[in-house]
Amino acid sequence: MDKQFRTVALIGKYQSPDISGPLLALADFLERRGITVLIEEGTALSLGADGKPASYETIGTRADLAIVLGGDGTMLNAARRLAEYRVPLVGVNQGRLGFMTDIAREDMIAGITALLDGEFSSEQRFLLDIEVLRGSRRVLHTLALNDVVVNKGDIGRMIELEVKVDGEFIYVLRADGIIVATPTGSTAYALSANGPILHPAVPGIALVPLCPHALSNRPITLCDQSQIEITLMPPHDARIHFDGQMRFDARAGDCVRVMRSHHAITLLHPPGYSYLAMLREKLHWSSSPRG
């Protein structure tokens, strides 16, 4: 089944010396199977790796598969950069929790071998399309796979946000902020803010208030076709975070418009993968009590 994956890109955790050995070993393994290997140029530069350094654009146009060695943060960055090219992604966990990087480091060669032999399942994950409007002018446009977070930034008090869904006024939220999360992002920041866990097959978007002043402001799951508008009420400015990796300083009066993107990513999972089993392991469900 190698014919399905003639060219494979390797993307490593940013400036992490720990991935040098596994990445070079994986590159050698793939080349011995007759596969052309591309190494993402930032990864190649930080590791001093030989091979064929490639930009994300080159990876997007040439690679049949991208293997991400790192944690969920590395996967999030790669997913956003490659979403428009529809390159399938598989993750080797070099981080901590690893909700999206589900091949263990010690099982890397066995897991990739199974995948190359056609033993994998695929799963689609949608992204969010976000724009920030300042009056009639769009001042930012970007994507997020996990979440969009509008928060108070450096100020030490709550902010006020007007929230509309499909043009309908929902509420003015007085809080530290609000999270708009995809099912993929429901196990990230939103989870720590008592948001719902959404199975990846659920076509929903979660709105999760951050430390709301009114305890009746509860998380809600909306249809994934909804358009969400969050307007910063004067006089407060705010900060907007995208997947916890990019940020934008917004001004009072700015409107953050969020909707489902037409871009999606494909994750490939090794044999035996189960989302619920992954949650059970990562969140320590059914573990024996201590003490």
Is the predicted pLDDT of residue 272 greater than 60, yes or no?
yes
pLDDT of the residue at 288: 64
The CATH number covering residue 177 comes to 2.60.200.30
The CATH number covering residue 33 comes to 3.40.50.10330
Are 205 and 85 in the same domain?
A: no
Buried b (16+ CB within 10 A) or exposed e, 46-66: bbebebbebebeebbebbbbb
- Report the relative pairing of strands 7-12 and 89-93 from DSSP bridges: unpaired
Are 48 and 148 in the same domain?
A: no
Asked, for residue 104, whether it belongs to a domain, the answer is: yes
Is the predicted pLDDT of residue 289 greater than 70, yes or no?
no
pLDDT of the residue at 267: 97
Are 253 and 278 in the same domain?
A: no
Please say if 72 is a catalytic residue.
yes
Asked, for residue 287, whether it belongs to a domain, the answer is: no
Are 205 and 223 in the same domain?
A: yes
Asked, for residue 145, whether it belongs to a domain, the answer is: yes
From the candidates 28, 50, 72, 107, give the one annotated as an active-site residue.
Answer: 72
Domain, as residue range, for 50? 2-120+270-282
Asked, for residue 46, whether it belongs to a domain, the answer is: yes
For the segment 175-216, what is each residue's pLDDT rounded down to a tens digit?
999 999 999 999 999 999 999 999 999 999 999 999 999 989
Are 258 and 234 in the same domain?
A: yes
Are 149 and 76 in the same domain?
A: no
Are 205 and 97 in the same domain?
A: no
Are 109 and 144 in the same domain?
A: no
For the segment 76-100, what is each residue's pLDDT rounded down to a tens digit?
999 999 999 999 999 999 867 788 8
Asked, for residue 96, whether it belongs to a domain, the answer is: yes
Are 132 and 108 in the same domain?
A: no
Are 219 and 150 in the same domain?
A: yes
Q: What is the 3-state secondary structure (H, E, C) of the chain?
A: CHHHCCEEEEEECCCCHHHHHHHHHHHHHHHHCCCEEEEEHHHHHHHCCCCCEECHHHHHHHCCEEEEEECHHHHHHHHHHHHHHCCCEEEEECCCCCCCCCEEHHHHHHHHHHHHCCCCEEEEEEEEEEEEEECCEEEEEEEECCEEEEECCCCCCCEEEEEEECCEEEEEEEECEEEEECCHHHHCHHHHCCCCCCCCCCCEEEEEEECCCCCCCCCEEEECCCCEEEEECCCCCEEEEECCCEEEEECCCCEEEEEEEEEEEEEEECCCCCHHHHHHHHCCCCCCCCC
Are 108 and 200 in the same domain?
A: no
C-alpha distances in angstroms, 270 versus 44, 105, 184, 274? 26, 13, 18, 10
Counting the structural domains of the chain, the total is: 2
Asked, for residue 291, whether it belongs to a domain, the answer is: no
Are 151 and 242 in the same domain?
A: yes
Is the predicted pLDDT of residue 1 greater than 50, yes or no?
no
Asked, for residue 81, whether it belongs to a domain, the answer is: yes
Looking at every residue in the chain, the average pLDDT score rounds to 93
